[in-house]
């Protein structure tokens, strides 16, 4: 590592300090880059990649040792894939399998085919085109999860579809990592007689041996490892040493990854992934994830820095049109393909827009595939630079993509006829109430959202024999509700026409139980245009939203986190000897205190105009004074 540009002037660094210096330099540059990009409202991942560019051989100043950085990055890949395996959930995947599996595989196929064709026009080999296409077809787990968390949509229907879609893409890329080394001889230009591989004994034998090794590895890991590893961790946990438990987790991840590569010829990434999958099903998964997270984050940063070191920024000047084409494929092409696939499966426009924006970037697996492609001689260095440029630009542009698609969603809601044509094609039956006597449907409750919150409320209303109509954006959920005899409509309640289908004009109560707070105001506005006197109950997620709803004079607004705190407060007061009467008064005082506190009208709901909209703070104070 040195401080000057010319190679012959760089003083060699002592071996005993080279590792430390590289580690410190990469982490410091990554820290600075992460801080700067965070201040610019960009993902820190962009800063880590730019830090790698800064210490790489293609920019002036300090130059890190690529070999050492590459080895540290390999540990980052192992821990990164171990973390992916720890958070892998078959349950989440099965919940959205109807759209996630065909959607992800369909998009990978379409994008890879288009990119492979474009690469052929550039004069690249079939192998280069396939690796390039696969790298552009998969999204970044880190960027997607962070974007959904910031928008508070991770646990929504749209968020679950996006995450399930990403899981399928990750599994497809894991399979690609297994098969690419076996197919490298066929796909590479270095093969002088590819005909002897295609359809020949050599190719068949290579694939058979590779798949047999993978099958044997999976059998040992999933059958033997599922019993042995949790047993070992359980005994280590009984010792009571946190350091020893953390060491056992890291030894498991790194040991299985190394053994998979040495004994079975399987990549480090695949071995680490299945090590995480095994631990994810044990009782120690959460503790394992928490203990390994700091080290995982640190080495994952080194992985991104090492990727940035390989990037030659001059390609932005040498091949601007190629870079632009790659960015357009990632941001625009993938979004259009995803949007069309989601709509084709009968989901609403809002879902299609959210999933499209979430997946309009590339990340970790793209880097791993690019590196493997270069090592195998399939992908030229220029292809790797284009992938890195596409990743940097697409991740940087991702917040703008969300903003643009949000504006598009608003515009589409202002043009309901176009929206109806897009999202109701093939699902008209679910978008209207089944054959019932609509004239007899009155004084019912319209429940918007039938997830964890709405389903509990709906069950309580049904238990009392009260009529309800459910509006939900999950097509399978609507089909299941109708099979159980519940009146349900498939659609987005913030879209004009959907509330009318639920007979909102004759409804007595509108209950909004969706986690998407930004849609609540629009739903209330549409409902009151049709039925100005309808009572309203709302689930919300912020104090500012509660304050706004209070000013709108709705019946009740509840913020889940606050009510959770009040429940714990009530238990704590009773546990410490406070009387039930005083406990309830104290909790009510805090419930109504401050701007944005949860509020409700008095129990007498019939004289709506005379009922106060908010219990005043002094009411609770007077009760306490008694």
Cα angle value 546/550/555 (rounded, 5°): 105
351 plus 454 within the same structural domain:
no
**Assigned domain for 422 exists:** no
Q: Is there a single domain that holds both residue 361 and residue 458? A: no
Q: Count up the domains in the chain and report the number.
A: 2
What pLDDT does 179 receive? 81
Token duo for residue 266? 């399987």
> Quick one: 507 and 589 in the same domain?
yes
* Residues lower than pLDDT 50 in the chain: 1-15, 190-200, 426, 595-597, 602-626
505: which DSSP letter? G
Statement to judge: residues 391 and 445 lie in one domain = no
> CA-CA distance, 280 to 275, in Å (whole number)?
9
pTM above 0.85, yes or no: no
Same domain? 167 vs 226: yes
377 and 501 within one domain: no
- Residue 268 tokens, joined: 């480090």
Give the pLDDT confidence of 56-80 residue by residue, as tens digits: 888 887 777 777 777 777 777 777 7
- State the CATH number of the domain containing residue 481: 3.40.50.720
60 and 171 housed in the same domain: yes
Q: Are residues 94 and 27 in the same domain?
A: yes
Q: Which residues contact 15 (CB under 8 A, 6 or more apart)?
A: none
132: domain CATH number is 1.20.1530.20
In a domain, 435, yes or no: no
Place of tokens 């349900």: 488
pLDDT at 508 (0 to 100)? 92
Same domain, 227 and 370: yes
For residue 452, the enclosing domain spans 441-625
On whether residue 125 sits in a domain, the answer given is yes
pLDDT at 429: 59
pLDDT attached to residue 328: 94
Q: Considering the domain boundaries, does residue 419 fall inside one?
A: no
Give the per-residue pLDDT at 621.
41
Could you tell me if residue 543 is inside a domain? Answer: yes
59 in a domain, yes or no?
yes
My answer on whether 44 and 147 are in the same domain is yes
The last residue of a domain, from among 390, 410, 430: 410
Q: Looking at the structure, do residues 74 and 162 belong to the same domain, yes or no? A: yes
Please say which residue of 410, 431, 465 terminates a domain: 410
Q: State residue 478's pLDDT score.
A: 84
Give the three-class secondary structure for 539.
strand
pLDDT reported for residue 8: 42
Distance CA 272, CA 444 (A): 53
Same domain, 468 and 401: no
Domain boundary among 410, 433, 449: 410
Q: In 188-241, which ranges are continuous DSSP H helix?
A: 201-219, 226-239
Sequence-distant (≥ 6) Cβ neighbours of residue 433 within 8 angstroms: 441, 469, 487, 489, 501, 502, 503
Within-domain flag for 429: no
How many residues are there in the chain? 626
In a domain, 207, yes or no: yes
């Amino acid at each position: 590592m040195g401080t000057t540009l010319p190679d012959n002037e760089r003083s060699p660094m002592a071996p005993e300090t080279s590792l430390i210096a590289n580690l410190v330099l990469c982490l410091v540059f990554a820290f600075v880059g992460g801080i700067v990009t965070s201040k610019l409202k960009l993902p820190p991942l962009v800063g880590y990649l730019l830090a790698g560019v800064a210490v790489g051989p293609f920019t002036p100043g300090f130059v890190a040792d690529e070999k050492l950085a590459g080895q540290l990055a390999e540990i980052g890949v192992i821990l990164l894939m171990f973390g992916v395996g720890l958070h892998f959930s078959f349950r989440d995947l099965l919940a959205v399998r109807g759209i996630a599996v065909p959607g992800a595989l369909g998009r990978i196929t379409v994008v890879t085919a288009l990119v492979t064709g474009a690469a052929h026009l550039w004069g690249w080999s079939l192998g280069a085109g396939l690796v390039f296409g696969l790298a552009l077809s998969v999204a970044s787990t880190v960027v997607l999860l962070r974007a959904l968390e910031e928008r508070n949509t991770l646990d929504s229907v749209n968020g679950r579809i996006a995450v399930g879609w990403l899981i399928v893409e990750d599994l497809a890329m894991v399979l690609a990592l297994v098969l690419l080394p076996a197919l490298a001889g066929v796909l590479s230009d270095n093969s002088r007689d590819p005909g002897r591989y295609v359809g020949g004994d050599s190719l068949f034998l290579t694939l058979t041996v590779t798949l047999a090794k993978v099958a044997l590895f999976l059998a040992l890991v999933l059958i033997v490892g599922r019993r042995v590893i949790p047993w070992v961790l359980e005994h280590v946990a009984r010792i009571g040493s946190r350091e020893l438990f953390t060491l056992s987790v890291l030894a498991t991840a790194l040991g299985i990854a190394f053994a998979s590569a040495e004994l079975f010829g399987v990549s480090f990434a695949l071995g680490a992934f299945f090590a995480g999958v095994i631990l994810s099903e044990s009782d120690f998964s959460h503790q394992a994830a928490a203990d390994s997270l700091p080290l995982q984050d640190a080495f994952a940063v080194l992985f991104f820095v090492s990727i940035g070191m390989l990037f030659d920024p001059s390609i932005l000047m040498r091949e601007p049109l190629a870079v632009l084409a790659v960015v357009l494929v990632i941001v625009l092409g993938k979004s259009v393909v995803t949007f069309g696939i989601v709509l084709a499966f009968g989901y609403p426009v809002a879902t299609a827009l959210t999933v499209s924006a979430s997946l309009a970037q590339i990340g970790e697996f793209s880097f791993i595939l690019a590196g493997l492609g270069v090592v195998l001689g399939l992908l030229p260095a220029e292809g790797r630079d284009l992938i890195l440029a596409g990743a940097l630009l697409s991740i940087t542009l991702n917040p703008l993509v969300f903003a643009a698609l949000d504006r598009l969603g608003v515009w589409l809601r202002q043009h309901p006829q176009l929206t109806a044509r897009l999202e109701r094609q093939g699902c008209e039956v679910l978008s209207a109430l089944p054959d019932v006597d609509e004239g007899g449907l009155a004084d019912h409750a319209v429940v918007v959202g039938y997830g964890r919150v709405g389903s509990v409320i709906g069950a309580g209303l049904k238990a009392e024999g009260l009529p309800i109509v459910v509006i939900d954006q999950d097509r399978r959920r609507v089909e299941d509700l109708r099979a159980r005899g519940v009146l349900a409509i498939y659609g987005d309640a913030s879209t004009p026409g959907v509330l009318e289908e639920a007979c909102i004009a004759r409804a007595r109560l509108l209950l909004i139980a969706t986690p998407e707070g930004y849609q609540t105001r629009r739903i209330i506005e549409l409902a009151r245009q049709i039925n100005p006197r309808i009572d309203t109950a709302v689930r919300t997620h912020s104090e500012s939203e509660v304050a706004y709803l209070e000013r709108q004079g709705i019946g009740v607004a509840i913020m889940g986190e606050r009510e959770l705190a009040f429940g714990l407060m009530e238990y704590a007061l009773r546990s410490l000897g406070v009387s039930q009467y005083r406990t309830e008064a104290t909790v009510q005082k805090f419930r109504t205190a401050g701007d944005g506190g949860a509020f409700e009208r008095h129990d007498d709901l019939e004289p709506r105009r005379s009922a106060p909209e908010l219990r005043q703070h002094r009411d609770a104070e007077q009760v306490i004074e008694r």
